[in-house]
Structure 1
Amino acid sequence: MYWDAMIVKPLARYRIYVEIQDGRKGVFDMKPYLDHGVFRELKELHYFNQVGIVLGAVTWPNEQDIAPETLLAEMQPLASTSSPGEALDRESPPESRP
């Protein structure tokens, strides 16, 4: 469907970069969810970084997922020319940039 995630990459500070099938790109902040239910497991950074896509949905190995409507409503859009590296660069403090 038009809201299927095509690319997802973990970013610093519990954020993920997402590209949607219809061409939208953005960054979704998972921090507000980390103290709730099944999402608590995502606090472990190694596990958080295992984010992937199953049937167009952003998921983790133990079946945590983000509802597509939540993803689209809350992700911060990026310009169509932006890349995951640019999103990460914008979110990093200046002293950590190369």
Structure 2
Amino acid sequence: MLTVNSVRYAGAFKLHVSLSNGDSGLFDVSGYTNKGFFKELANEEYLKQVSVDSSGMGIRWPNEQDFSADTLEAELIKAN
């Protein structure tokens, strides 16, 4: 089962994510910031409040926006 080891804000609406399968890289949130429930992520100060959810199965923000580890893996811009 894929889990998220860590997440931190990397600037320019990107998050640095480390996954349990050894993959790490950037997840670009900018494509989601104009979509309904995710619009709050357009606020960079709010975006910085990202954390790994309690199950480790994804990341989340205080108002319950979230992305699963599988989504992160599929859209990860992998580090070289």
Give the TM-score taking structure 2 as reference length. Answer: 0.90
Distance 1:21 1:43 in 2: 28
**Any gaps of 5 or more consecutive residues in structure 2?**
none
How many residues align structurally? 78
**Aligned equivalents of 1:64, 1:49: Cα separation in 2:** 13
Structure 1: state its 5+ residue gaps. Answer: 80-98
Quick check: which one's strand share is greater? 2
**Counterpart Cα distance in 2 of 1:6 and 1:42:** 21
Which residue number corresponds to residue 67 of structure 1?
A: 68
Where 2:5 maps in the other structure, the secondary structure is strand
Question: 4+ residue stretches of structure 1 with deviation over 2 A?
Answer: none
**Structure (1/2) with the larger helix percentage:** 1
TM-score, structure 1 length as denominator? 0.74
Structure 1 residues 21-71: Cα deviation after superposition (integer angstroms, max 9, x where no partner) = 121111000000000011100111111000001111111111101122221
Structure 2: distance between partners of 1:29 and 1:59 = 15
On the 8 A contact 2:19/2:69 being kept in 1, the answer is no
Q: Secondary structure at the match of 1:66?
A: strand
- What corresponds to 2:4 in structure 1? 5
Question: What letter corresponds to residue 4 of structure 1 in structure 2?
Answer: T
Any idea what SS the aligned residue of 2:66 has? coil
Identity %: 33
